[in-house]
Amino acid sequence: MTQIEIILLLLLHDKDYYAYEIESIIEQRNMREWTEVGFSSIYNSLNKLERKNLIDSRYEKEYGSPKRKVYFIKDATREIVKKYIIKMLSEYKRDPGEFDIGMAFSYLITKEELYAALINRKENLIERKSFIAKKYDNHPTAKQRPHIKALFERPIACIESEIIWIDEFIKEAF
C-alpha cells in the first residue's frame, strides 16, 4: 500500500469522512510536513481503496448542500491498519516518514504493542548500525577519504541518536 493509502485508512479508522474533510484534517495537522500527500491524490486514493474493498462509501445530504460521498473503513480493514502501525513503528527505514505516520496514529494500538514495536525498532537499528560499521571497517579507503568516511559515519550517528531517543521515550512513556 502507498503512504497516502495508509494515511487515509488511519484517518478513516477514527471517523467517517468525505474527501474535503480529509484534506482539511491533513492541513490542520500539518501532515504535509512529514508525509507526501497531494490534494488530488486524496480523491484518487480513496477510489482505489474502495476498489480494493478496504473502504466503502455512502452519499449524505446536508441541508443546503449537495450530496457528498462519505467514506468509511470496513471492520475487516481495522486489523490491517493496526498491523501497519506496528510495522511502521518497528521497522527501520531510511525515510523517517513511515515512522512518523506510525507514531502519529499509535493511539490506535495498545501501549504494549507500541512498546514492543519500539523495542523491535531499536533492535533493527542496532543491527543496521552493526552492518554499516562492518562495511566501514572493511572498506579499503573509507577512513582516508573524507567524503566516503562521511557516508558511513553520518548514518551511524543518526542511528545512535535514534537509539538514545527511543530509550528516553520508553523511559518517559512507560
Residue indicated by cell numbers 515512522: 99
pLDDT at 49: 97
pLDDT band at 129 (very low <50, low <70, confident <90, very high): very high
Average model confidence (pLDDT) across the chain: 93
Interval 20-29 mean pLDDT: 92
Q: Please give the Cα distance from 119 to 125 (Å, whole number).
A: 10
Give how far the C-alpha of residue 131 lies from the chain's centroid of Cα atoms, to the nearest Å.
24
Residue indicated by cell numbers 560499521: 133
Q: Please give the Cα distance from 45 to 27 (Å, whole number).
A: 17
Question: Are 67 and 12 contacting, i.e. CB atoms less than 8 angstroms apart?
Answer: no
Q: What is the pLDDT of residues 51-109, one digit of tens each?
A: 999 999 999 987 877 889 999 999 999 999 999 999 999 998 877 889 999 999 999 99
Q: Please give the Cα distance from 90 to 128 (Å, whole number).
A: 13
DSSP run (H or E) holding 70: strand 68-73
User: Residue ranges per domain, the chain?
Assistant: 3-104, 110-173
Interval 137-157 mean pLDDT: 94
pTM of the model: 0.86
Instruction: Write the burial class of residue 34 (CB in 10 Å: 0-12 exposed, 13-18 middle, 19+ buried).
Output: middle
The class of domain 3-104 in CATH terms is mainly alpha
Q: Please give the Cα distance from 119 to 105 (Å, whole number).
A: 18
Angle between helix 111-138 and 75-90 (nearest 10): 40
